[in-house]
Amino acid sequence: MKRAVECLILGVALLAGCSDSGSDTAGATSETTNGIAVAVYDVNRDPIPQARVTLYSKADFAVVNSAVANDSGLAHFDSLAEECSSGNCFVEGIAGADSALMNWSEFKPTISETEIATQIELAPSASLTLRTGATTDEEVFEFLRLKSTPYMASRSGSDYVFAHVPAGMFTVVAGDSAVATFSLEAGAEADTLVNVPGKTLEYVFEDFDDGDSLNNLAKNYRNYGWYYIASGTAIWIKPDSVGGFGGAIVDGVRGKHLSLQFDLGDSGYVLLGTHLGLDTGYYDLGALTAIRMKVRGDCDFSFALEHYKDLGDNNFQKSLWHATADTTWKEFVFRPGKEKLNASVYQVEWKNIAHEIGFVSIFVSSGSFLEIDEIVFEGIDSVEAPAP
């Protein structure tokens, strides 16, 4: 999930006008006189047939006119409304299934003797999900939109989703109030928390800042803290038997974080885990809306919330999410309802175990190192005392 990136700058250039010699210069057309010719290209400068081009009024985002590009990527309009010719319109370009390619920019036509012409470049569309961390049945905003666009978010529980939007710099607004500003790269899938005072609920389960082996829940309720297990041919390099768990907590530019190193051998894996309570105690995490954590590494890993009850041979039902770490720090978001299901290894739907969680587990099945910081539960701001 790429997040803050460069704003895509969409060039607007004059297309060559028609000539008596029938020039086939890009954008030239003899089909339109005193109308509009909008040439639609992709990032490789190839024309995009069947692209849908729409002009919107800046005043109220009403559709002024629309056309479909021909086989040469040219969208023709017979005439141009006064407000568009005077620069008071936006132009939108869309192509492909599910708006795979998009453009949104100011319409700045250039007028030649025979026509008004411009060109737009379509790039892969982005998506933007705003998490509020509120309870799932609470409507935090009546609606959200991207400022200076007609794009509205749809609500999903306590989240607000812009499924397909153009790349670029946008401000999200609720009514006339700015909520946040984002720069979206082409093709990005942005997923971020927007803190809404009085609405957002979050609980920092572990940030490693205290430098000990106990998760933050232990400040209020006793537990055994973090443990680490190597299975099969795997061995731990850090933590080791000398420094213990605390020896894997290091200082960096981010402050303290956990730095794990391991050798998995031919067929091993390592497990990092912690009890939420003591032995058979469990917690109700049914209000959880998301788990987020910051990670750096060179491995595949899985994050799991596990049921408290041992099914035998130290096997527990679990809801599990899989991810691949990057060698630069990246925030991962795991959502209840999007867990990986595999009954043969006791991976079940979140709703089946959400109210009786006993463990947090992190499994690593490849690579050589994993660094972790700021494991946060969203949708809750406290954890009640465990059931005995």
Whichever domain contains 282, its CATH number is 2.60.120.430
Give the count of beta carbons closer than 10 Å to the beta carbon of residue 314. Answer: 6
Final residue of a domain: which of 193, 215, 235? 193
Considering the domain boundaries, does residue 18 fall inside one?
no
Does one domain contain both 188 and 211?
A: no
Place of tokens 């035998």: 312
Does one domain contain both 166 and 212?
A: no
Please check whether residue 55 is in contact with residue 89, taking contact to mean a CB–CB distance below 8 angstroms.
yes
Where the chain has pLDDT below 50, the residues are 1-33
Final residue of a domain: which of 123, 146, 174? 123
Does one domain contain both 273 and 360?
A: yes
Considering the domain boundaries, does residue 1 fall inside one?
no
Distance of CA 296 to the CA centre of its chain: 17
Considering the domain boundaries, does residue 150 fall inside one?
yes
Final residue of a domain: which of 89, 104, 123? 123
Considering the domain boundaries, does residue 6 fall inside one?
no
Whichever domain contains 97, its CATH number is 2.60.40.1120
290-328 confidence digits (pLDDT tens): 999 999 999 999 999 999 999 999 899 999 999 999 999
In terms of phi and psi (left: phi > 0; alpha: psi -120 to 50; beta: otherwise), the region of 76 is: beta
What domain range is 183 assigned to? 126-193
Considering the domain boundaries, does residue 278 fall inside one?
yes
Does one domain contain both 230 and 327?
A: yes
Say what the pTM is: 0.81
Number of domains in the chain: 3
Please check whether residue 61 is in contact with residue 145, taking contact to mean a CB–CB distance below 8 angstroms.
no
Considering the domain boundaries, does residue 182 fall inside one?
yes
For position 152, what pLDDT does the model report? 96
- For residue 197, what are the contacts with CB-CB under 8 A and spacing of at least 6? none
- Average pLDDT score, the chain: 87
Does one domain contain both 74 and 217?
A: no
Considering the domain boundaries, does residue 183 fall inside one?
yes
Does one domain contain both 87 and 217?
A: no
Does one domain contain both 111 and 189?
A: no
Does one domain contain both 217 and 350?
A: yes
For position 100, what pLDDT does the model report? 96
Considering the domain boundaries, does residue 364 fall inside one?
yes
Does one domain contain both 56 and 169?
A: no
For position 138, what pLDDT does the model report? 80
For position 85, what pLDDT does the model report? 83
Does one domain contain both 208 and 78?
A: no
For position 293, what pLDDT does the model report? 97
Does one domain contain both 93 and 242?
A: no
Does one domain contain both 216 and 165?
A: no
For position 14, what pLDDT does the model report? 28
For 277-325, give the DSSP string.
SSTT-BB--TT--EEEEEEEESSEEEEEEEESS--STT---EEEEEEE-
